[in-house]
Amino acid sequence: MANVLELVEARLQTALGRPDARAAITFLGTERIEVLRFVDGSGADAIVRYATLGMSGQPMADPADPLADPVRGPRAELLLTVRAGRADTDKVLRPLAVLAASPQVEGVIVAPGGSLDVGEPLWPGAPFSSVLVAASGGLVPDLELDAPLDPVRFLPLLPMTANEAAWKRVHGAEALESRWLAAGTDLRDPLRTAVTLQD
């Protein structure tokens, strides 16, 4: 596992630069999850990116499944991008670690199009408690591992308001992303309001 995580951290630094901060959280019965913070730019245009490190150490599988393969299976880390200086987004470290630990704790398979909910605001004053998992391959390219291991995918998280999350459950992830796109929604704004969901 250590070798996989070393490769993952190297890929993150190649894509995002050196992290300026990191925090480690360990939940009972799970491997340690770290959250790395990367700052891009300065002043009003600065972007902050948070990346988990530790989730990909094991393949995702139902921990209650006695036949789960300890080697094969999807592997992922989570990415969250927000505009700097508009909210105390550094408080998202623990919620992100909770989401990254969910495959080990709850047997959740985190995949594009899925929703994850932490049951509380992602950071103080945030209008979001849940996120939409987007497709990998953009900001941080997938990391191929030696066979038979699956590649590590770096999955962007898009914060959703409660109304957006409810609408997504009915209409699907693609429909919600289309609404965001049509409205020109700034998904990096940590204080944004919900997109209009009425026709």
User: Mind listing the pLDDT tens digit for each residue in 5-35?
Assistant: 999 999 999 999 999 999 998 887 778 899 9
Give 88-119 pLDDT, tens digit per residue. 999 999 999 999 999 888 888 999 999 999 99
Q: What percent of the chain has pLDDT over 70?
A: 95
Least confident of 77-81, 167-171, 194-198: 194-198
DSSP 3: H
Entry pTM? 0.93
Q: What percent of the chain has pLDDT over 90?
A: 72
Q: 133-146 burial, b if ≥16 CB within 10 A, otherwise e?
A: bbebeeebeebebe
Closest CA to 35 of 66, 74, 9, 65: 9
Environment class of residue 77 by beta-carbon count within 10 Å: exposed (0-12), middle (13-18) or buried (19+)?
A: buried
The mean pLDDT value for 132-161 works out to 94
Element (H, E) at 179: helix 173-183
Banded pLDDT at 1 (limits 50, 70, 90) = low
Q: Six-digit token pair at 84?
A: 């700097």
Q: 79-116 burial, b if ≥16 CB within 10 A, otherwise e?
A: bbbbbbeebebeebbbbbbbbbbbbbeeeeebeeeeeb
Give 22-73 pLDDT, tens digit per residue. 999 888 777 889 999 999 987 778 999 999 999 999 898 866 666 767 778 8
- Strand locations in 41-114 (E): 47-53, 75-83
pLDDT at 199: 66
